[in-house]
Chains A and B, each alone.
Chain A
Amino acid sequence: MIKKLAPALFLLFVFPSFVFAQDFDFNRANSDYLYNLSLYREAHQEYVSAKEAYLKYKTLTSKNTALEKTLRMTQLRDEVVRTYLIALKMKLGETPGIFSDDKNVFNLKLDNEADWYLKHKEELSSAATLGDLANLAKVSSTRYSSRSEILIYQTLYKILLGKEFTLKGEIEIQIEAIREKLKEIKEKGDKDISLPERWLLETENRLLRFEEKVSASQAIMASIEKNTYRESVYRKAQLLLEEGHQYLKEANRYLKEIIREIKTADGNY
């Protein structure tokens, strides 16, 4: 028994990170993020109260309390962003339909960004005064608006694209299967397939329309770095993807019609 368990125990003690990596998925990462977010909200409330008290009384005690609460709030703010970036990374990893090269590039960027917030969180502890702390906190604010926010929206968009391309791929597989079947029926000559062939053309047209919507959406997303209203840019791009999604639905509906047509004997409607 011990002999059988030995390799597993060896792995557990020698490679604990290996075992941990097996369990760490998007759900776990998302739970970490949500937990930190709740801690941040509490800390923020305390920071607001401490700040008000300090500005009102200007005593040494209130100043020390304000320093303590501000430090906790800013550190948790960094932790929230860091854990959120990791959750995004896990979600991206679990989303099918994204090229592995793209995933690797995004993983690297997200890791770098998460590391930056970890280091910055430690740096915050070195602040001796409220002024120092405010200046250090501003550094993360600048970092978020200049880099992290863009990366966040680009990752979210990549996740949506992955979903849509997966569905499109699945529809294309069925188009090919139907095309093969229609070819077989045509060769046998036991059924009129002119109508299903027209439906098939219409289906392909819908996929072209989908591509057009995706291209327009990608063009909008490309401008996100230059635009200050990043959320609005992302929403516009996302809306176009939703429109494209309708074309995928139509394409699938047409394919169902083709199947119905194949299953029906000629001249019976």
Chain B
Amino acid sequence: MEIINQDFENILHTEKEEKKKKLIPKKMMLLGGLVLIFLLILILLEMSSVLKQNRVVPRLLPTPTPSPIPTLVEKITNQSFYATDSAVLKIENELKKIEEKLDNTDLKESSLNPPLLDWKVEF
């Protein structure tokens, strides 16, 4: 024989609580699911916009970073008597100046090119 609980007030109360307990996780799960879907949509939208941007914006090509050209410092290990001679040093200095001028001389003078003009005036 099954013993029936006679405490009806408490029975009702506990049933309500059980129902509540069953309902809360369902609602929570539903809400959580919705939030997840919303987040997924947001992520997808963000990804698609990034992909679109990548299509439009040209890729940045790698550019070589200018590396300093090592200048060869000529070292004369065994110097002669003339290594410190003022006349020799003066000539050396002058030659360096000429070298700079030779490197910087503009033999095209493109800024002085004749102007392009329309010489045909016809009606």
Contact = CB atoms under 8 A, between A and B. Distances in A.
A152 B109 CA distance: 13
Given A88-B112, A264-B80, A268-B78, A252 B122 contact: no
B69 to A, nearest CB: 17
B114 A152 contact: yes
A144 B119 contact: yes
Interface in A227-266: 238, 241-242, 245, 248-249, 252-253, 255-256, 259-260, 262-266
Given A130-B123, A191-B80, A264-B80, A248 B94 contact: no
Interface of B: 74, 76-83, 85, 87-88, 90-92, 94-95, 98-99, 101-103, 105, 107-109, 111-112, 114-115, 117-123
A253 B117 CA distance: 43
Contact of A40 (B76, B85, B88, B117): B117
Given A91-B112, A163-B105, A259-B92, 18 more contacts: A40-B117, A141-B119, A156-B109, A159-B109, A164-B107, A167-B101, A167-B105, A171-B98, A174-B94, A178-B91, A181-B88, A181-B91, A191-B82, A252-B98, A255-B91, A256-B95, A262-B85, A264-B80
Interface of A: 30, 33, 37, 40, 44, 51, 54-55, 66, 70, 73-74, 77, 80-81, 84, 87-88, 91, 130-131, 133-134, 137-138, 141, 144-145, 149, 152-153, 156, 159-160, 163-164, 167, 170-171, 173-174, 177-178, 181, 185, 190-191, 238, 241-242, 245, 248-249, 252-253, 255-256, 259-260, 262-266, 268
Contacts of B107: 160, 163-164, 238, 241-242, 245
